[in-house]
Homo-oligomer: A and B are copies of this chain.
Amino acid sequence: MAVVYKRVALIGLGLIASSMFWAIKRGGLAGTVTGYARSAETRDTARQIGLCDQVCDTINDAVQDADLVVLCVPVGAMGAVAAQIAPYLKDGATVSDVGSVKRDVIEQVGPHLPASVAFIPAHPLAGTEHSGPTSGFAELFDNRWCLLVPADGTPAPAIAALRTLWEGIGCNVEEMDADHHDLVLAVTSHAPHLIAYTMVGVADDLRRVTDSEVIKYSAAGFRDFTRIAASDPTMWRDVFLTNKDATLEILGRFTEELFALQRAIRTGDGDHLHAYFTRTRAIRRGIIEAGQDTDAPDFGRAKLKP
């Protein structure tokens, strides 16, 4: 693959930035990748593992002369970082991000940026429950979606270049409106995460009663919740606070439906339960057909063994 940007700056060196770096190197997509993290410890770790061609001690050094600057910090920190880097951005550079919420990022970041740079918010739909500079790997984005949310009037060549980068990293790329993005993600990601966090919290309360039986017998369904609920606390705090309206709307619908099912259990309405469970089963089929999961018969468990 050809070089897409001569110089890329990654601001924040966690799971997403480190995976981006390894994927960019794998694909030969950038000449030089600089990196910056607020914590000196993170910068030291990055240097030790060869994460980024150059780890900078100041954020201005990192963004100076960069053709693409990607903000890989928690959503709640985006505005402050944008204000910091704005004076040092090169004319004609592109600024992007990887935040899980888009409307709020646009409102926080946009006003700080000079008119001479293109701002193209982005969101790669990939992650694990691990975080930090050592958690990244080049394959994280393979066959995952990356959603671009460019403002009206963004130069087409700038959008095309960012698309080429993400495709080189391994993603399928689509463009989407910011508000629609936030609603879709509230359904597919934000509400499910809050629900998983809640269920794990409830089990933790009970664990004190049942002496770690919850952990021991987790394979019965609970295990998948704990994986989701192990994601980075700071990132997720910011997601919920910045995509408040859509998340609360979906949670409202969720509670309504949950109450209806609880009522069916209480009244013994087996037909209602059976019909509901039959309907949800069909959705799983759609996801496997869409290539977003495997149909392995044992949740992939057996294949994970050495």
State the A residues within 8 Å of B (CB): 76, 125-130, 135, 137, 139-140, 142, 144-145, 147, 180, 183-185, 187-207, 210, 212-231, 233-234, 236-238, 240-241, 244, 247-248, 250-251, 253-255, 257-258, 261-262, 265-266, 268, 270, 273-274, 276-281, 283-287, 290, 292-294, 296-304
Write out the residue numbers on chain B whose beta carbons fall within 8 Å of the beta carbon of A304.
Answer: 294, 296, 300, 303
Write out the residue numbers on chain B whose beta carbons fall within 8 Å of the beta carbon of A233.
Answer: 273-274, 277-278, 281
Closest to A251 in B: B262
Write out the residue numbers on chain B whose beta carbons fall within 8 Å of the beta carbon of A286.
Answer: 212, 215
* Inter-chain contact A222/B257, CB cutoff 8 Å: no
* Inter-chain contact B248/A262, CB cutoff 8 Å: yes
Given contact pairs A198-B258, A254-B199, A222 touches B284 in the complex (Cβ within 8 A): no
Write out the residue numbers on chain B whose beta carbons fall within 8 Å of the beta carbon of A268.
Answer: 241, 244
* Inter-chain contact A281/B230, CB cutoff 8 Å: yes
Given contact pairs A199-B191, A284-B227, A298 touches B265 in the complex (Cβ within 8 A): no
Contact of A287 among B202, B215, B293, B300 (CB under 8 A): B215
* Inter-chain contact A299/B128, CB cutoff 8 Å: yes
Q: List 26 A-B contacts (CB under 8 A).
A: A125-B217, A125-B219, A126-B219, A129-B281, A139-B302, A142-B302, A145-B216, A185-B217, A187-B202, A188-B217, A188-B218, A189-B221, A200-B280, A203-B283, A204-B283, A216-B290, A226-B280, A227-B293, A230-B280, A233-B273, A238-B270, A248-B265, A251-B258, A294-B301, A300-B303, A303-B303
* Inter-chain contact A187/B206, CB cutoff 8 Å: yes
* Inter-chain contact A216/B283, CB cutoff 8 Å: no
List 3 A-B pairs, minimum CB-CB distance, nearest first.
A230-B284, A189-B220, A233-B277
Write out the residue numbers on chain B whose beta carbons fall within 8 Å of the beta carbon of A240.
Answer: 265, 273
Min CB distance, A279 to chain B, in Å? 6
* Inter-chain contact B273/A241, CB cutoff 8 Å: yes
Min CB distance, A137 to chain B, in Å? 6
* Inter-chain contact A137/B189, CB cutoff 8 Å: no
